[in-house]
């Protein structure tokens, strides 16, 4: 791979300028901004590689970019997304979110880590491979969507309708990277999610707060309902939910034990004195990866601006997400939650469905995982940290596990990349290593 690596080094500056161009294009799924334009940029870059690429329209959503290139005994599916999170709060950015800037070897821009850096690094790796190594030793398929940051609402139906397009021997997922101590990581799955709202209603309009003596307050009503969902030790109390949680196997516990958990560094980075329940070490890691969550993401009611307004609100709303581990499913959460509230007399609390995704995980001995580990060892000169389950979520299940395709995730990000936050970034050296990793993965998975 010497010629491949030399090509990457020679073209490093051009590759970064290309990445800046991708990051200059806003593509905010939550606001519907720039998605068609970004899809066309991706399509054009893939066409330049010789990929058989097309935009596949979705009813009610931005297009899927689908492409195929090469041939061989094995097929590798590549999943990425071209949409990004909103850049807010804007006043916390050192430079403009859609004006990519390099400072001290780090590139800052919205979407550079999640997920445009990985998207483009994989395309540039294919360019580098074809230029220096010749014909690809395997078939590549790309699925690149524009709704990942809003829960991929149209992707499951797309996957079910186009199963033949997704047929593959393995899949590299969207993102990942290095941990707190700059060690490469390979993740074998992720949690699912159920995102929803609870709404409580009171009088037909806001009222003077003196009427709280006789008029029910929906904010209190919602607080009382929320108080039944979780106790002060962070135990989820929804009736029957924990009965569906599968404990990690002995093999998975051994994988956890091999993960260097940098608890003290995480606490310092988060600015908190302790983890929930005071957990440390492998017990904290086990909770993080193998316990579901029930999280208040936002609460809206009454008057919350500066100054005083004595008001009895007419409505209250809370946004919740449940992160799901095997064998929890999104539909199951809705059913259990509704029954839980009804049993306690909260039949008036409205449950409004958001988006849901199933958990997914892959075996560590899958050929694509073995090839990824070997490629990482060759590029990073150290063994990667193998993480059995990502604490975040994504549409891995309908694209891979539903068809029996093993998948893993790794990428060009790092533990402080700040995905979804102001000053999102990647390190340039990590980006070049990420390109080299993809080249090595293609060689090993296609020929070993």
pLDDT at 438: 98
Both 15 and 67 in one domain: the answer is yes
The b/e string for 378-393 (b: 16+ C-beta within 10 A; e otherwise) is ebbeeebbbbbbbeeb
Is residue 169 in a domain? yes
Both 139 and 26 in one domain: the answer is yes
Both 334 and 204 in one domain: the answer is yes
Domain boundary, last residue among 306, 328, 357? 357
pLDDT at 269: 86
Range list of β-strands (E), 94-233? 101-103, 106-108, 139-145, 170-172, 177-178, 185-187, 189-201, 207-208
Both 72 and 158 in one domain: the answer is yes
Vertex 148 angle, CA 147 and 152, to 5°:
70
CA distance 257 to 145: 35
29: Cβ contacts below 8 Å, ≥ 6 apart: 35, 62, 83, 84, 146, 147, 148, 149, 150
Question: Which regions in the chain score pLDDT beneath 70?
Answer: none
Is residue 235 in a domain? yes
Is residue 264 in a domain? no
Both 343 and 370 in one domain: the answer is no
Both 374 and 345 in one domain: the answer is no
- CATH number of the domain bearing residue 198: 3.30.70.360
Both 6 and 45 in one domain: the answer is yes
Domain boundary, last residue among 315, 337, 357? 357
221 within 8 A of 200, measured Cβ to Cβ: yes
- CATH number of the domain bearing residue 90: 3.40.630.10
Count other C-beta atoms under 10 Å from residue 71's C-beta.
12
35: left (phi over 0), alpha (psi -120 to 50) or beta: alpha
CA distance 200 to 225: 10
Among 397, 400, 433, residue whose Cα is nearest residue 172:
400
Domain boundary, last residue among 322, 357, 392? 357
Is residue 274 in a domain? no
Is residue 250 in a domain? no
Both 377 and 340 in one domain: the answer is no
Is residue 111 in a domain? yes
Both 118 and 199 in one domain: the answer is no
pLDDT at 226: 98
Both 55 and 179 in one domain: the answer is yes
Q: Using N-to-C axis directions, what is the helix angle for 428-447 and 117-132, rounded to 10°?
A: 60
Among 147, 175, 199, residue whose Cα is nearest residue 79:
175
Is residue 268 in a domain? no
Among 333, 319, 336, 338, residue whose Cα is nearest residue 199:
319
The reply to whether the predicted model has a pTM over 0.85 is yes
Q: Which domain holds residue 157?
A: 2-188+362-447
Both 181 and 198 in one domain: the answer is no
How many domains is the chain partitioned into structurally? 2
Which pLDDT tens digit goes with each residue over 15-59?
A: 999 999 999 999 999 999 999 999 999 999 999 999 999 999 998
Is residue 51 in a domain? yes
Both 70 and 136 in one domain: the answer is yes
């Amino acid at each position: 791979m010497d010629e491949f690596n030399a090509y990457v080094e020679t073209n490093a500056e051009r590759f970064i300028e290309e990445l800046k161009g991708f990051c200059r294009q806003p593509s905010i799924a939550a606001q519907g901004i720039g998605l068609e334009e970004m899809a066309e940029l991706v399509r054009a870059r893939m066409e330049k590689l010789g990929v058989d690429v097309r935009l596949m329209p979705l009813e009610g959503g931005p297009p899927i970019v689908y492409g195929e290139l090469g041939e061989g005994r094995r097929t590798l599916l590549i999943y990425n997304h071209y949409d990004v999170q909103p850049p807010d709060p804007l006043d916390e950015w050192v430079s403009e979110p859609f004006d990519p800037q390099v400072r001290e070897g780090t590139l800052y821009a919205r979407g550079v880590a999640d997920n445009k850096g990985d998207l483009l690094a994989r395309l540039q790796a294919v360019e580098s491979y074809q230029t220096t190594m010749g014909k690809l030793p395997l078939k590549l398929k790309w699925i690149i969507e524009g709704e990942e940051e809003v829960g991929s609402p149209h992707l499951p139906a797309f996957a079910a309708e186009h199963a033949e397009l997704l047929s593959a021997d393995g899949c590299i997922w969207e993102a990942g990277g290095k941990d707190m101590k700059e060690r490469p990581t390979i993740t074998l799955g992720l949690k699912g999610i159920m995102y929803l709202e609870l709404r409580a209603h009171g009088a037909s309009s806001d009222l003077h707060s003196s009427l709280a003596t006789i008029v029910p307050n929906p904010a209190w009503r919602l607080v009382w309902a929320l108080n039944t969902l979780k106790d002060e030790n962070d135990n989820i109390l929804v009736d029957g939910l924990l009965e569906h949680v599968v404990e990690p196997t002995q093999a998975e516990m051994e994988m956890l034990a091999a993960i260097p958990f940098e608890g003290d560094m995480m606490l310092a980075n988060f600015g908190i004195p302790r983890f929930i329940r005071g957990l440390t070490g492998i017990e904290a890691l086990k909770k993080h990866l193998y316990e579901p969550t029930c999280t208040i993401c936002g609460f809206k009611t009454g008057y919350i601006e500066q100054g005083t307004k004595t008001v009895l609100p007419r409505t209250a709303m809370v946004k919740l997400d449940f992160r799901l581990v095997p064998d929890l499913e999104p539909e199951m959460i809705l059913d259990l939650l509704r029954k839980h509230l009804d049993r306690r007399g909260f039949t008036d609390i409205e449950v409004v469905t958001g988006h849901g995704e199933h958990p997914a995980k892959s075996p560590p001995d899958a050929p694509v995982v073995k090839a990824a580990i070997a490629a990482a060892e060759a590029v990073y000169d150290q063994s990667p940290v193998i993480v059995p389950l990502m604490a975040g979520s994504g549409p891995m299940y309908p694209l891979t596990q539903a068809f029996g395709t093993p998948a893993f995730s790794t990428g060009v990000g790092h533990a402080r990349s700040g995905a979804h936050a102001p000053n999102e970034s990647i390190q340039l050296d990590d980006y070049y290593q990420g390109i080299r990793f993809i080249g090595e993965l293609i060689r090993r998975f296609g020929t070993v």
